[in-house]
């Protein structure tokens, strides 16, 4: 049975044009939560759901979502493609392309349950795939670049269909609603993962629609974000030069693609990529020793178009680590806590304490200083 989601035009008309929404607009909103187990022991989805639910007032019901790693152990060598589609016809068009470029090992609807807080969902589907040996195109690309090319092709060329998650042994689950409702809708209490991130959205300058909810992902990368990326225009133009297509109409999308470009393709470390996003000010660079000064000057000159302007706090992961980062003057909150082998990151310490009442250590990172927690195999 088809159940199309509202179009972008309908969302703008129903939500952004209302006086009620404009009166409640709060640009400091959005809530983040993340947790990682250093030794990859899995945690139930309830941990992320309960923690982000504490930050209920940081959202307005127009977006919630989760990313989880380690949730598909029996299919860990397959790319898990999560799709949202306006209707069955859009899904079939997307499947035709996926079948052309991949070998499909499993095709099934994403399990959901009826939830009062989630209305009019799109068609949600997942494919577990491998790259074809006899590629019909992009034969000279690496496997990861090939997958990225197919994701960009579907998201740009297939009307009403989006691949919103494409990594291995991980997945994103997101939509319009409060995050606790989205967690219940996607039955995340039935999943277990060793890294979880969660987001409660309060959209300000972009529409509240299913594809625009956080997290944003590409391959194993996932990101949740609180704030505004005012450099979206130049970031988007820079990414277009490297064959990344921004189609989801939300500023945070550029960060997911920049992570893939800077770290996977250009080989920057996570720390250096974070310094591209939130670099030292020029007067700080002037006071550095010559070697450090030369390095940061080069970084700013080469990657000036990848700098993230505006207030932000972000959590991002690639399945090997969880990183938290503030903008360079810390205009958005970020708290980190440790307890044994677990590390938590969130917009508010009450969110952490709801699932970890007695942390061993709790602190607020400095502006522009990434907190990078690696898993130990």
Residues assigned a catalytic role = 30
Partners of 163 in the beta sheet?
A: 83
The continuous run of DSSP H or E covering 245 comes out as: none
Place of tokens 């709060």: 26
Q: Assign 3-state DSSP to the chain and report helix, strand, coil percentages, each to 5.
A: 35, 25, 40
Helix ranges restricted to H, 5-73: 8-11, 19-24, 45-53
DSSP 3-state of 301: helix
d(CA 368, CA 329): 7
Strands (E), 177-227: 192-193, 195-200, 216-218, 221-227
Closest listed residue to residue 254, CA positions, set 277, 272, 271, 275:
277
Q: DSSP letters of 321-343? A: EEEEEE-TT--S--EEEEETTEE
């Amino acid at each position: 049975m088809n159940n199309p989601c509202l179009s972008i035009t309908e969302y703008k008309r129903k939500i952004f044009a209302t006086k009620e929404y404009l009166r409640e607009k709060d640009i400091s909103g959005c809530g983040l939560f993340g947790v990682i187990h250093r030794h990859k022991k899995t945690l139930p989805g309830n941990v992320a759901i309960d923690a982000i639910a504490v930050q209920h007032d940081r959202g307005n019901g127009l977006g919630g979502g989760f990313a989880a790693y380690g949730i598909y152990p029996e299919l860990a060598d397959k790319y898990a493609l999560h799709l949202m589609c306006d209707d069955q016809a859009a899904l079939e068009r997307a499947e035709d392309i996926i079948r052309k470029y991949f070998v499909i090992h499993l095709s099934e609807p994403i399990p959901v349950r009826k939830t009062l807080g989630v209305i009019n969902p799109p068609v949600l589907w997942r494919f577990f795939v491998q790259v074809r040996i006899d590629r019909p195109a992009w034969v000279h690309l690496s496997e990861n670049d090939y997958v990225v090319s197919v994701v960009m092709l579907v998201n740009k060329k297939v009307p009403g269909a989006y691949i919103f998650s494409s990594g291995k042994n991980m997945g994103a689950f997101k939509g319009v609603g409060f995050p606790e409702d989205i967690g219940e809708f996607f039955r995340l209490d039935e999943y277990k993962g060793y890294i979880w991130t969660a987001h409660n959205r309060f959209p300000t300058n972009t529409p509240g629609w299913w594809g625009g909810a956080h997290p944003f992902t590409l391959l194993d990368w996932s990101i949740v974000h609180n704030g505004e990326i005012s450099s979206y225009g130049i970031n988007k133009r820079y990414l277009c030069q490297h064959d990344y297509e921004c189609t989801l109409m939300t500023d945070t999308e550029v960060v997911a693609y920049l992570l893939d470009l800077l770290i996977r393709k250009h080989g920057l470390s996570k720390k250096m990529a974070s310094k591209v996003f939130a670099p030292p000010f020029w007067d700080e660079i002037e006071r550095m020793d010559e070697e450090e000064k030369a390095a940061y000057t080069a970084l700013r000159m080469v990657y000036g178009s990848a700098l993230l302007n505006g207030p932000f706090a972000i959590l991002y992961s690639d399945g090997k680590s969880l990183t938290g980062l503030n903008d360079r003057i810390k205009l958005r909150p970020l708290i980190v806590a440790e307890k044994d082998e677990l590390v938590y990151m969130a917009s508010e310490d009450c969110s952490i304490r709801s699932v970890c009442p007695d942390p061993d250590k709790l602190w607020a990172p400095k502006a522009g200083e990434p907190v990078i927690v690696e898993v130990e195999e």
